[in-house]
Amino acid sequence: MSNESEQKELKISNSTDESLSSQQNSRELELSERVARLEKQLDQALMLISDIYRYGKLRDLLSAGKWKEADLETANVMLEVSGKTDKEELTPDDAIKFPCSVINLIDQLWNNYSNGRFGFSVQKKVYESMGGTYDISQIDMKVLESTSEKLGLRFNGKRIPYKNLNFSLEAPKGGFPVAWWSSPYGAKLAVYFLARLDNCNID
């Protein structure tokens, strides 16, 4: 009887140890994920502080709800980061190598100040909802055109002139930033940049 009792106690002890170990592992994983999130937020904050000359104007325009001016400033910032002076110089290869940290920060600024209506992450979701993929060897013009329609950039099959876009929070979700997308490379640059958004986990 003594051996049986000891064996039962040992099993209970082992089970308790396993449960405590599992709980500890779960806590450690949760803590690790929280630390990773905080580090990401800190990196973004430090980037904004260290590059205030680059992002400060964009932040101020977004904060004031000046969507058109913020859209044009976004294009300027992205050109500057790319080392280009004109959108015509920007190639699809430049777009697919664009720094994830910059894309993420710009997306966060747009997302935060528009209450989730605008930003690259919103545009990516719209593109996916239209059946878009990230295979840069396949450019589906129908998907791109339907995405543009959904974003309020086209109407009845025709592109809406930039000056006629709805520069307000009443614009379709994902409607901005958009000046950045204008390029002589057209659909190819769009698909390459969308692939970059996916590669950078912009969600």
20 and 96 belong to one structural domain = no
Rounded-to-integer distance, Cα 191 and Cα 93, Å: 11
- Looking at residue 66, the DSSP 8-state letter turns out to be -
Q: Which domain holds residue 29?
A: 1-50
- Run of H or E including 159: strand 158-159
As for how many domains the chain has, the answer is 2
- Identify the domain boundary among 10, 30, 50: 50
30 shares its domain with 89: no
The secondary structure of residue 83, as a DSSP letter, is: T
Q: What is the pLDDT along the chain (203 residues), one digit of tens a residue?
A: 455 555 555 455 555 556 656 677 777 778 878 877 777 776 666 655 556 667 889 999 999 999 999 999 999 999 999 888 888 888 999 999 999 989 999 999 999 999 999 999 999 999 999 999 999 998 999 999 999 999 999 999 899 999 999 999 999 999 999 998 888 888 899 999 999 999 999 98
* Neighbouring-strand partners of residue 155: 158
What's the whole-model pTM score? Answer: 0.74
